[in-house]
């Protein structure tokens, strides 16, 4: 007994030392079910970028990135299980969590805040969490749904020839009937009032492979534009249904979760001309993706089984998330000690002080791949700009520059909604001037 105790006393620091140069990032995603194309693509891109950093640079300042995959099936309870399973792994616990589902994000907000692990939801999640005073540990980065929506309306106005031309236009809002899908209803209503267009909200129940009734309604409404807030199998179904009722795809505008190759290829010809928003671009010709090809795939260590998916929208989105993750770790190391693994709390500070500018993007080989990102205690969103792309039958063609969102509409709504949340939960918002 004594010997066992002695051995374990000796072994513990040894183990700790052996593990000390590792930064653990959980990869909780989904490889089965109706949303598997998104989950497998994003997690693949993320892991490949980690592999690239480990292979090419030896990690982040010598700290290797480690990860563990966990299957959530896009279900909230499994997502919580995965979070709890992985949050203490590695020498410093989970660096941050990408919940990979708006529903799971909601379930983790309380848990992450009390465990001091940042919940990073890039391009999804709770829009009002952009108010960092109420949500210190939640980061809906790049562009939240509300910001994206203002950019979409701007884009429609540009197509119609000016903001004043929106008056009297009819927009049908076809959405996935879940927290994710409903997120933009209030802002659409507000904008409809402001610009004088009519909006009809039409819900599609999960998973969305049956949309006949909805498209019948769209035919009755005769909208000028259809905004598609779909996810997974709902998207190709909508495109096919639109073709069937003869609604022009060039007047269909998708959210970025309805804008990947996996969403349009199954619809075949019906998808031609369809437009979606995006916060990252597709293509394998970006420097960072070709670096991954060179350092990871050339050695046969790539994560994607289907190599043709490297450079697809979802894959590149995963790479982008990994860039944000590792840049936050780098920033945290700069302040709390280079070459040492950092904790979730330190990463939270780093995220709030993150500044990925054009110069840094150039060093990362990601110019044009993603937009610059600068965060603060007040603003947990950053970027806020959206590009639009059109499917030409073979690939996505970018058809706009970065279109900025209208923060004069979004920000007051975010603050009001966050304040309501704070009141319900009894949270006292932080004073950002005292943060350092």
Q: Between 177 and 379, whose beta carbon lies closer to other proteins?
A: 177
Report d(CA 382, CA 120) in Å as an integer: 12
Burial class of residue 40 in the structure, from the number of CB atoms within 10 Å of its CB (0-12 exposed, 13-18 middle, 19+ buried):
buried
Q: Does 64 bind other proteins (CB under 8 A)?
A: no
**What DSSP assignment string belongs to 41-85?**
HHHHHHHHHHHHIIIIISSBTTBEEEEEEEE-TT-HHHHHHHHHH
Q: Between 40 and 191, whose beta carbon lies closer to other proteins?
A: 40
Among 1, 5, 220, 305, binds other proteins (CB under 8 A): 305
Interaction pattern, residues 158-197, with other proteins; x per rule: CB under 8 A: -------------------xxxx-xx-xx-----------
Specify the stretch interacting with other proteins by CB under 8 A; choose among 49-57, 110-118, 327-335, 369-377: 110-118
Q: Between 80 and 157, whose beta carbon lies closer to other proteins?
A: 80
Specify the stretch interacting with other proteins by CB under 8 A; choose among 101-109, 264-272, 335-343, 376-384: 101-109
Smallest distance from the beta carbon of 17 to other proteins, in angstroms?
Answer: 21
Burial class of residue 431 in the structure, from the number of CB atoms within 10 Å of its CB (0-12 exposed, 13-18 middle, 19+ buried):
exposed
Specify the stretch interacting with other proteins by CB under 8 A; choose among 5-13, 79-87, 261-269, 365-373: 79-87
Strands 385-391 and 403-404: antiparallel
CB 281 within 8 A of CB 392: no
Q: Does 84 bind other proteins (CB under 8 A)?
A: yes
Among 18, 56, 85, 164, binds other proteins (CB under 8 A): 85
* For the chain, the helix, strand and coil percentages under 3-state DSSP, each to the nearest 5: 50, 15, 35
Smallest distance from the beta carbon of 127 to other proteins, in angstroms?
Answer: 8
Q: Does 71 bind other proteins (CB under 8 A)?
A: yes
Q: Does 255 bind other proteins (CB under 8 A)?
A: no
Q: Does 18 bind other proteins (CB under 8 A)?
A: no
Backbone angles phi, psi at 386, to 5 degrees: -135, 140
Q: Does 200 bind other proteins (CB under 8 A)?
A: no
Q: Which helix (H) or strand (E) holds 115?
A: helix 102-115
Distance from chain centroid for Cα 148: 12
Smallest distance from the beta carbon of 31 to other proteins, in angstroms?
Answer: 4
Smallest distance from the beta carbon of 84 to other proteins, in angstroms?
Answer: 4
Q: Does 148 bind other proteins (CB under 8 A)?
A: no
Q: What is the 3-state secondary structure (H, E, C) of 170-237?
A: EEEEEEECCHHHHCCHHHHHHHHHHHCCEEEEEEECCCCCCCHHHHHHHHHHCCCEEEEECCCCHHHH
Burial class of residue 27 in the structure, from the number of CB atoms within 10 Å of its CB (0-12 exposed, 13-18 middle, 19+ buried):
buried
Report d(CA 325, CA 101) in Å as an integer: 17
Burial class of residue 323 in the structure, from the number of CB atoms within 10 Å of its CB (0-12 exposed, 13-18 middle, 19+ buried):
buried
Q: Between 54 and 371, whose beta carbon lies closer to other proteins?
A: 54
Residue with tokens 């019906």: 270
Distance from chain centroid for Cα 327: 16
Among 19, 31, 198, 378, binds other proteins (CB under 8 A): 31
Give the number of residues in contact with other proteins, rule: CB under 8 A: 48
Query: H helices within 312-406, ranges in order?
Result: 313-336, 344-352, 358-364
Specify the stretch interacting with other proteins by CB under 8 A; choose among 155-163, 227-235, 244-252, 414-422: 414-422
Among 36, 157, 158, 367, binds other proteins (CB under 8 A): 36
Among 212, 294, 425, 432, binds other proteins (CB under 8 A): 425
Q: Does 326 bind other proteins (CB under 8 A)?
A: no
Distance from chain centroid for Cα 68: 19
Smallest distance from the beta carbon of 20 to other proteins, in angstroms?
Answer: 20
Among 6, 15, 88, 338, binds other proteins (CB under 8 A): 88
CB 37 within 8 A of CB 93: no
Q: Does 210 bind other proteins (CB under 8 A)?
A: no
Among 161, 162, 300, 426, binds other proteins (CB under 8 A): 426
Q: Which of 279, 281, 322 is nearest to 65 (CA)?
A: 322
Among 165, 170, 206, 240, binds other proteins (CB under 8 A): 206
CB 137 within 8 A of CB 112: yes
CB 23 within 8 A of CB 63: yes
Specify the stretch interacting with other proteins by CB under 8 A; choose among 105-113, 294-302, 358-366, 378-386: 105-113
Q: Does 417 bind other proteins (CB under 8 A)?
A: yes
Instruction: Tell me which residues touch other proteins (CB under 8 A).
Output: 30-32, 36, 40, 68-71, 73, 76-78, 80-81, 83-85, 87-88, 102-103, 106-107, 109-111, 114, 126-128, 177-180, 182-183, 185-186, 203, 206, 305, 417, 420-421, 424-426
């Amino acid at each position: 007994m004594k010997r066992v105790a002695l051995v374990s006393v000796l072994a513990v620091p040894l183990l700790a030392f052996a593990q000390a140069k590792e930064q653990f990032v959980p990869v909780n995603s989904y490889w089965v079910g109706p949303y598997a194309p998104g989950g497998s693509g994003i997690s693949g891109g993320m892991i490949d970028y980690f592999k690239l950093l480990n292979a090419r640079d030896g990690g982040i300042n010598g700290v290797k990135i480690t990860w563990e995959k966990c299957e959530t099936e896009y279900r909230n309870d499994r997502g919580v299980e995965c979070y709890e399973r992985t949050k203490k792994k590695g020498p410093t616990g989970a660096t941050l969590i990408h919940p990979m589902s708006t529903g799971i994000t909601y379930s983790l907000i309380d848990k992450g805040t009390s465990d001091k692990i940042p919940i990073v939801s890039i391009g999804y999640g709770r829009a009002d969490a952009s108010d960092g005073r109420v949500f210190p540990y939640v980061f809906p980065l790049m562009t939240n749904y509300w910001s994206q929506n203002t950019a979409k309306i701007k884009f429609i106005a540009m197509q119609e020839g000016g903001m004043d031309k929106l008056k009297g236009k009819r927009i049908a809002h076809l959405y996935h009937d879940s927290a994710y899908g409903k997120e933009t209803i209030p802002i659409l209503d507000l904008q409809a009032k402001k610009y004088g267009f009519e909006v009809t909200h039409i819900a599609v129940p999960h998973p969305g492979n049956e949309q006949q009734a909805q498209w019948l309604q769209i035919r009755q409404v005769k909208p000028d534009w259809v905004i598609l807030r779909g996810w997974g199998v709902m998207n190709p179904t909508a495109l096919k249904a639109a073709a069937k009722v003869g609604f022009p795809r060039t007047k269909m505008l998708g959210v970025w979760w309805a804008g990947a190759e996996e969403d349009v290829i199954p619809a075949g010809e019906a998808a031609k001309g369809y437009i979606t928003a995006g916060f990252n671009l597709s293509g394998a010709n970006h420097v960072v993706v070709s670096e991954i090809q060179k350092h990871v795939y050339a050695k046969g260590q790539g994560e994607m089984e289907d190599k043709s998916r490297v450079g697809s929208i979802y894959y590149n989105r995963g790479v982008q998330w990994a860039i944000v993750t590792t840049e936050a770790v780098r920033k945290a190391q700069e302040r709390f000690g280079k070459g040492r693994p950092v904790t979730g709390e330190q990463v939270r500070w780093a995220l709030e002080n993150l500044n990925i500018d054009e110069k840094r993007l150039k060093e990362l080989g990601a110019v044009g791949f993603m937009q610059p990102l600068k965060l603060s205690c007040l603003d947990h969103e950053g970027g806020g700009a959206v590009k639009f792309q059109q499917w030409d039958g073979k690939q996505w063609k970018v058809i706009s520059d970065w279109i900025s969102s209208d923060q004069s509409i979004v920000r007051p709504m975010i603050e009001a909604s966050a304040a309501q949340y704070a009141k319900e939960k009894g949270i006292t918002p932080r004073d950002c001037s005292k943060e350092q």
